[in-house]
Structure 1
Amino acid sequence: MSPEIFGILGFVALFAFLAMGAPVAIALLVVGFVGTIFLSGFQAAAFTLSGQVFATVTVYELTIIPLFILMGNLASAAGLSRDLFEAAHKMIGRFKGGLAGATIVGCAGFAALSGSSIASAITMGKVAYPEMRRFNYGAKLATGSIAAGGTLGILIPPSTGFVIYAVLTEESIGRLFMAGVLPGILLTAMFLLAIAVVTFFWPEEGPRGPKFTAKEKLTSLFRATGIAGIVLITIGGIYTGLFTPVEAAGVGAFFALFMLIIRRKCTWATLYDVSAETLKTTGMAFFILIGANVFAPFVSLSHLPATIATGMAGLALGTYGTLALILLGYVILGMFIEGLSLLVITLPIVFPLVVGLGFDPIWLGVVMVIVLEMGLISPPVGVNVFIVKSVVQDVKIETIFAGIMPFWLAMIATLALIVIFPEIALMLPNAMFN
């Protein structure tokens, strides 16, 4: 049996494990280990398994994952996400769709702390949805803005998706973080534009909110300086070269803890919950990375990347036609598989193929993250939609899917702009590192 056939059978087995509900990390470990035994022998498989476990957990750059997760959890416990939403609410809530816009802004700000789409959707869902319903917002716009806004968590730095992409492709975490800034701002602006279009044609979906005095606005802005300060310190420190990404994560976590203390919310129970959630999420992330690093050598041994590259070249689709086909595949798979899991499963094949076409690997990281975001809200199994459904149980799932469609189209437009104008993603990292 040829190595390519073993590779195909490996992917079939992997998706079968996932369909049966096996954890992604376990599925990757088992398939990668057993596949390597068949292709290269037990000794090579055992060496890969033991070596990759040690190699993964001792990578200094991966220290950034627990530190940024800790920062996000501390900020959430301190109530910084609610402060940002309240500030945006008071500033733009009086406009049509203003509360939905405030939700997007709140998700963008919280994404710059948590780096997690799921955490952003859950947090802002609990904060924003009751307010939107209180002001008679339509269920479609209310839930759609939460589900779409949550996807910003894996694009706006610090992003766990970028860290994992950087580790698996040996690219610079700092460059990827900088590459996500302008696309993140652009996508946030496109979401706000989508809200404006929806409320222009269907004003009942996002009625105007109450007016607030200048004093109320200034007070809310002052309270939101906590989250703004942490973002400026971490991202600004990386951009200016004052901190490395790992150092910025540590500084950000310290200031988040400082905010928790000065707001008198630092109790033993809170610290226990924050620590437990940080350890749980960190363990899951590292376990997936270990599985990916065992699975990747098996894919390489199967020669699948070269075979697929040759096959796609034979289709004569051209450079951008091939890219479009790959991205379409990601959107379809993203409907059924969680984004970060899909990234680690497919990257061993997709990365050498796309970079071989001449695309910049940093730009590719941004494009792939946006496409994975699209999968998070694509029917029939958009993960973020079901996350919002778990928070907002009185809304039908089909209503939420209908609500995300304007934002899904906004993602398509953003993706097209970044493909046409790659400097949107590359300008900051090139200015910083060149």
Structure 2
Amino acid sequence: MSDFLIGLSGLGIMFILMILRMPVGMAMLAVGFFGTMVLNGSRSANALLVTETFSATSNYSLTVVPLFILMGNIASAAGFSRRLYEAAFAWVGRLRGGLASASIVGCAAFAAVSGSSVATAVTIGKVALPEMKRFGYSDGLATGAIAAGGTLGFLIPPSTGFVIYAILTEQSIGQLFMAGVLPGLLLTVLFMATVTLVTLRNPAAGPRGAEVPIRERFVALLRALPLIFVIVTSIGGIYLGVFTPVEAAGIGAALVIVMALLSGKLDRESVVRAVSDTIRTTAMLYLIIIGANLLNPFLALTHLPATLGEAMMSTGLGPYGVLLLIVVAYLVLGMFMDGLAMLVVTIPIFFPIIMSLGFDPIWFGVIAVIVIEMGMITPPVGLNVFVVKSVAGDVPMATIFRGVLPFWFAMAVGLLLIVIFPQIALLIPQAMFR
């Protein structure tokens, strides 16, 4: 069997292991280790396992992951996420579909703390879904807005997707974080516009909320101001070069912990639960990165990425035609794979192609993350749909998938705009490092 076929077989075995419910990181680690053993012998495989595991876990840049996860968990445990939603509701709740729009704004704000789409969808969903149900919102619009808004956690900094992309491609985490700001705001606006269109077509789907007096709006905004201050401090500090992403994560986590203690909303049980969730999530992400670091050398030995790259380049479709093929491949994979798994498996294959075509690696990072976000709400897997289902247990899966469909098209519009106008993603990073 040729090296190329061994590589294809390895990927096939990895997908089978994932289908059999083996953790993503372990599936990649097993294929990378045993594939290297087949090609280069057990001594080489053992050496790879030791060196790559150490280099992956000792990477200083990865410190940003547990710190930002802890910041999001503490903010959620202290009830700060509810304050964000209440502030958004006070300002836009009176509009038709205003509760759904407030949920999206709340998701965008909490995404700037948590860096996780799942955490964002669960946290805001628990607060917003009962309110939308009380005001008579349709199940499709209510759950669709939460599922779509939750995906912003993968794009708006601090994004775990960008951290892993940066590690795999050796790009700047700071530049990637900044590149996600304007696209994240663009998707937030497009989601809110989608809510407006849905409610114009069917006014009963999203009735207007109660009018909130202007004084109470500012009171709600003032209550949310501490967490907004943390967001501005963390992201603004990176942009101004005051501190690195790791330092920003540490400062943000410390500020949230201090505010939570001062507010008296944090008890021993909440702290233990937040720290335990942080450890579990961090361990899962580290295992994925270790697995990717073993899988990538195996794929390189089989020449699989280079062969697939040459095949795509030989199609004669041109740079944007090849980019379209890559986007379609992501959309298809997104129907069956978890977002992080898709990122670590595909980047070693697609990234060299993108570089050879002359595309900006930071810009492609934004494209890849958005397409992966689309996969999070695409059937039959649609991770965020299952997350929302866990919060809205009485809503059928088919209803949730129908509800997210308009938002999926909104994301497609956003993706197209970023492809046509790359400066949407590159404006802030280029200004930051000019």
Q: TM-score, normalization: structure 2? A: 0.99
Give the secondary-structure state (helix, strand or coil) at the position aligned to 2:180. helix
Q: Deviations over 1:329-353 (max 9, x none)?
A: 1111111111011101111111111
Query: Which residue of structure 2 lines up, in the alignment, with residue 57 of structure 1?
Result: 57
Aligned residue in 2 for 1:129: 129
Once residues 356 and 304 of structure 1 are traced to their aligned partners in structure 2, the CA distance between those partners, rounded to angstroms, is 16
What is the correspondence of 1:1-400 to structure 2 with a 5 Å cutoff? 1-400=1-400
Q: Distance in 1 between matches of 2:12 and 2:138?
A: 42
Cα distance per residue 1:89-144 (max 9 Å; x no partner): 11111110000000000000110000000011111111000000111111111010
Judge conservation of contact 1:64–1:249 (CA < 8 Å) in 2.
Answer: yes
Question: 1:14 Cα deviation (Å)?
Answer: 0.4
The 1-side partners of 2:383 and 2:268 are apart by 33
Q: Residue type of the partner of 2:387? A: I
Tell me, in whole angstroms, the C-alpha distance in 2 between the residues paired with 1:215 and 1:94. Answer: 15
CA distance in 2, matches of 1:267, 1:386: 30
Would you identify which runs of 4 or more consecutive aligned residues in structure 1 move more than 6 Å?
none
Looking at structure 2, the residues matched to 304 and 373 of structure 1 have their Cα atoms a distance apart, in angstroms, of: 26
Alignment partner of 1:89: what SS?
helix
Deviation at 1:78, TM superposition (A): 1.4
Work out whether residues 174 and 245 of structure 1, in 8 Å CA contact, stay in contact via their aligned partners in 2: yes
Task: Give yes or no for contact 1:116–1:160 (8 Å, CA) kept in 2.
Answer: yes
> Which secondary structure state, in structure 2, belongs to the residue aligned with residue 315 of structure 1?
coil
Residue type at the aligned position of 1:157:
P
Q: Give 1:314 shift.
A: 2.0
CA distance in 2, matches of 1:278, 1:223: 26
The residue type equivalent to 1:320 in the other structure is Y
Aligned residues: 434
Give the AA of the match of 2:373: E
Give the CA RMSD over aligned residues.
0.8
2: CA distance, partners of 1:284 / 1:313:
35
Per the alignment, in what secondary structure is the counterpart of residue 325 of structure 2?
Answer: helix
Whether the 8 Å contact between 1:81 and 1:124 is mirrored in structure 2 is yes
Letter in 2 for 1:182: L
Shift of 1:43: 1.5
Name the CA distance, whole Å, in 2 between partners of 1:243 and 1:308.
40
TM normalised by structure 1 equals 0.99
Paired amino acid for 1:337: M
Question: For the residues of structure 2 that align with 1:335 and 1:310, how far apart are their CA atoms?
Answer: 26
Mapped to 2, the partners of 1:310 and 1:245 lie a distance apart of 36
- Give the Å deviation of 1:403: 0.6
Query: SS in structure 2 opposite 1:52?
Result: helix
Give, in angstroms, the shift of residue 178 of structure 1.
0.5
Structure 2 unaligned residues grouped into runs of 5+: none
Is the 1:97–1:207 Cα contact (8 Å) retained in structure 2? yes
8 Å contact from structure 1 (residues 335, 383) kept in 2: no
Q: Alpha-carbon deviation of 1:266?
A: 2.4
Give the Å deviation of 1:31.
0.2
Query: Retained in 1: the 8 A contact 2:79–2:265?
Result: no
CA contact 1:6–1:302 (8 Å) conserved in 2: yes
Deviations 1:350-376 (A, max 9, x none): 111122111111001000000000000
**Contact 2:389/2:395, CA 8 A, preserved across alignment:** yes
C-alpha separation in 2, matches of 1:114 and 1:164: 15
Shift of 1:429: 0.5
Amino acid at match of 2:365: G
Amino acid at match of 1:119: A
CA apart distance, 1:215: 2.1
Percent pairwise identity: 54
Matches of 1:143 and 1:325 in 2, distance apart? 31
User: 5+ unaligned residues in a row in structure 1: which ranges?
Assistant: none
Contact 1:100 1:195 in 2 (8 A): yes
Q: Distance in 2 between matches of 1:346 and 1:177?
A: 20
| Residue aligning to 2:425 | 425
Cα distance in 1, alignment partners of residues 167 and 80 from structure 2:
30
1:219 Cα deviation from its structure 2 partner: 1.1
Q: For 1:122 and 1:24, how far apart are their aligned partners in 2?
A: 22
The alignment partner of 1:250 has SS state of helix
